[in-house]
Structure formats: structure tokens, C-alpha cells
């Protein structure tokens, strides 16, 4: 865990800065907003304790909220994502469990596994984020459409990042 600490600190800073400086300025048709900062939670080691996942999720969400001037929306969504991560990992666990020293990446467990794992967590994150943003059910279907489109775009970018940035 200590060996991967510097890499995770750099990843945290890089993803927050990329989200704030680049991806927060992308809005396609008023419905699609890419949120790649969630990649930080997705790529944490399997052995990360739940309490640390929740703390890192809160810190990540708070960082985005501070720079985006959103009052706790991202924090709530990343905490929910961090809370669900151990359950999702157990659902998609290989028969023999996860190998020691591996990470949740395409290069270790394949595209199909990573896609399912990332999709469930990203959709959960986006559901919490967008419904917290509107905080009413009046625009339920429009918001759900926004969740689906943004999640598809975010998942695509995150899966592509596995091939271009986070190689073994």
C-alpha cells in the first residue's frame, strides 16, 4: 500500500486538475458532461480498506466541489461510489478471487470485466450526482437521459484511458 502512495497522490492531483481545467468546460448538447475524476476511485488497489475508500471519496468530491463551486454534490456522489465499490468488486470477482499485487485495470482482468465494473460504479455516481443537483423528481426522465448519456461518455473515456495512459 505504501509503494503505490506516491503514484496515487499524483493521479489524484492530475485527475482533479484535468477535471477542473478541461472536462468541466465540456458540455455537449446540454446533456453530456464527462466526469473522468472518478477514475481515481476505480483504480485504487483492491486491498484499500473501506474506511479509506470513503475518506478518499470525500476528499476527491470535496476537491472537485471547491473548484467547481458546487456545494457538496460531487462529495455525496463520490462517497456513494466509494461505498458501493467493495460490493461491486465482490460481485464481479473472478472465481479464485483477485490476485495479490494486481489492480482493477483492463491490463489485469480484461476489457469485459473492467467495463462492467466501471459502468456500474460510474452510473451509480452519475445517478447520485445529477439527482442531487436537481433535487426533485419533476424532471426525472430528462435527468435520467442526462445520466445515461454522460455515463456512456465518461465510461468511454475511462476505458480508452486504460489503453493510452494506464498501461501495465
The pLDDT tens digits for 72-100 are 999 999 999 999 999 999 999 988 888 88
Could you read off the pLDDT of 104-156 as tens digits, one per residue? Answer: 999 889 999 999 999 999 999 999 999 998 887 788 898 999 999 999 999 99
Q: What is the pLDDT of residue 166?
A: 63
Q: Where are the alpha helices (DSSP H) in the chain?
A: 5-21, 39-42, 50-68, 73-91, 106-134, 140-164
Give the pLDDT confidence score for residue 138 in this predicted structure. Answer: 81
Return the C-alpha cell found at 135. Answer: 433535487
- The matching CATH number, chosen from 1.10.1760, 3.30.70, 3.30.43, 1.10.1060, for 5-164 is 1.10.1760
Q: At what angle are helices 50-68 and 73-91 packed, to 10 degrees?
A: 150
Phi-psi region of 164 (alpha: psi -120 to 50; beta: other; left: phi over 0): alpha
Distance of alpha carbon 102 from alpha carbon 152, whole angstroms = 26
| pLDDT score at 168 | 56
Amino acid at each position: 500500500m505504501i509503494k503505490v502512495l506516491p503514484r496515487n497522490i499524483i493521479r489524484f492531483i492530475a485527475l482533479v486538475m484535468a477535471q477542473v481545467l478541461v472536462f468541466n468546460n465540456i458540455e455537449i448538447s446540454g446533456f453530456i458532461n464527462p466526469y473522468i475524476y472518478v477514475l481515481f476511485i476505480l483504480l485504487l488497489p483492491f486491498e484499500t480498506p473501506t474506511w479509506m475508500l470513503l475518506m478518499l471519496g470525500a476528499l476527491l468530491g470535496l476537491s472537485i466541489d471547491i473548484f467547481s463551486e458546487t456545494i457538496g454534490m460531487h462529495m455525496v456522489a463520490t462517497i456513494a461510489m466509494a461505498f458501493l465499490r467493495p460490493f461491486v468488486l465482490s460481485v464481479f470477482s473472478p472465481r479464485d478471487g483477485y490476485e495479490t499485487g494486481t489492480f482493477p485495470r483492463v491490463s489485469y482482468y480484461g476489457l469485459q470485466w473492467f467495463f462492467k465494473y466501471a459502468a456500474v460504479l460510474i452510473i451509480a455516481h452519475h445517478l447520485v450526482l445529477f439527482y442531487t443537483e436537481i433535487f426533485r423528481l419533476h424532471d426525472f426522465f430528462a435527468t435520467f437521459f442526462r445520466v445515461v448519456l454522460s455515463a456512456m461518455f465518461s465510461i468511454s473515456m475511462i476505458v480508452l484511458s486504460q489503453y493510452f495512459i494506464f498501461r501495465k
